[in-house]
Copies of this chain bind each other. A is one copy, B any other.
């Protein structure tokens, strides 16, 4: 049976999660490998998800006053070197352009791995007075980091992202914007991607190269591994001092600006796959599903079946639903399996007997439930169900996350958590880098964040036993 073959084509997640992931990415036609080592082709089905992410996130950005713009993809070496920590963090992993046309360049340039230095150079030119502040800009583009090991969506040499860069008059305003954008990401991940997050601050060890503070939204994948899903950085006036970005304040004195940056990438698509997917394939939250409903006619050659399917399609389109009818000559069973693989949230089955009874069957991808609906009411039913699916998917992910969040009070418990289980582990920490290093070395886990919602699990550091200062989420990370 064709449908069986299609389903057999993916490895089960229990058997080999990494292979399951790769299979889903390929079989749902999200990505293709290319002749360019470490770079991926984002196929139309995958890119359509990214467009829905972009559209909705961009609207949320703009509601907070963000303006889009575009800066060059190249950074001259001297510009990259302006901020010491930043160049140390990025120089080892950039791609270098050395020739333009037939001639060697007088100064080599890297392809942007991130654009702090370019935005600093730009702001230096446009910011003169307090009237020019704040500057709250964003760009949607691709960046390049020369990774050795790559995985579709999660890590590739080139990836798509957005990077916001702001400049403010005061440190307080910069901190406020940093947190504001972290909250936008949290809201977006939870309410658009149906992925619950842990919001918190990165440790000194894990923060962004050149930042004073890095905030993160951490999410938990189905295999218990953590994924850093978006970050927001407060740079203080470090970059401003390195680049000389000053403004004349109301009191007529020259002051340095305070800056932030914040980014999120196509790896969010990886998160959608690994948080929601199952052994039948992808499961897309309705708000980012390019097709929200697929109509599958049963006995479609019979008189009136296809007409009724198109009639339903028309009604749904008019109600603003992204819908299509699968009127190909494949069997209904194959179509079911194919739409499950692609993660379409709702499926409508309509055959001669349904038409006679004036009803159709709506099947949910998220939990397999089947609902009967009168054909005349199908649009309102579908709209309501899409909202329900969206909420239920978030709730299911939250339950999974909570069930896979453990507590460790000493190293024995800590070790047991990662040996016998997989998930987030909450544990106390003394704030000494040495303990963080030791934990990473011994357990191969990293601090994910110091969550904003702190708890006191014990008064001792899980590693050294000295007084604890912070509760930290730890995990194995993608």
Residues of A within 8 A of B (CB): 32, 34-36, 39-44, 46-48, 50-51, 67-76, 79, 92-102, 109, 111, 118, 121-122, 125-126, 137, 141-142, 144, 146, 157-158, 160
- Could you tell me the distance between the alpha carbons of A30 and B73 in the complex, rounded to whole angstroms? 18
Closest to A105 in B: B95
- Of B44, B73, B92, B101, the residue contacting A67 (CB under 8 A) is B44
| Contact yes or no, B93 A96, CB < 8 A | no
Q: Nearest B residue to A143 by beta-carbon distance?
A: B73
**Can you report 22 residue pairs joining A to B where beta carbons are below 8 Å apart?**
A34-B71, A34-B72, A34-B118, A34-B122, A35-B76, A35-B121, A36-B72, A36-B79, A40-B72, A41-B69, A41-B70, A41-B72, A42-B69, A42-B71, A44-B69, A47-B68, A47-B70, A50-B70, A51-B68, A72-B158, A73-B73, A96-B99
* C-alpha spacing A243/B183, complex, angstroms: 48
Judging by beta carbons under 8 Å apart, are A109 and B36 in contact? yes
Is the CB–CB distance between A99 and B98 below 8 Å?
Answer: yes
Across the interface, which residues of B come within 8 angstroms of A142, CB to CB?
70, 73, 141
Please, how many angstroms separate the alpha-carbon atoms of A97 and B121 in the complex? Answer: 23
* Other-chain contact of A32, B34, B35, B109, B122 (Cβ < 8 Å): B122
A71 to chain B, nearest CB (A): 5
Write the nearest CB–CB distance from A120 to chain B, whole angstroms: 10
B125:A32 contact, CB within 8 angstroms: yes
Q: Tell me whether A146 and B36 are in contact (CB under 8 A).
A: no
Cross-interface CB contact of A111 among B50, B111, B141, cutoff 8 Å: B111
Contact of A44 among B97, B99, B137 (CB under 8 A): B137
Give Cα A42–Cα B79 distance, bound, in whole angstroms.
19
User: Are A144 and B73 in contact (CB-based, < 8 A)?
Assistant: yes
For A68, list chain B residues within 8 Å (CB): 44, 47-48, 51
Asked if B76 contacts A36 (CB within 8 A), the reply is yes
Q: In the complex, what distance in Å separates the CA atom of A70 from the CA atom of B101?
A: 25
Contact A122 B76 (CB under 8 A): no
Chain B residues near A47 (CB-CB < 8 A): 67-70
The reply to whether B101 and A146 form a contact with Cβ atoms under 8 Å apart is yes
Q: For the complex formed, measure the closest distance between the CB of A388 and the CB atoms of chain B, giving whole angstroms.
A: 29
- A75, A98, A101, A157 interface centre (most CB from chain B within 10 Å): A101
Chain B residues closer than 8 Å to A122, beta-carbon distance: 32, 34, 41
CA A35 to CA B40, docked complex, whole Å: 30
A47 to B42, CA, bound (A): 24
Chain B residues whose CB sits within 8 angstroms of the CB of A125 once the complex forms? 32
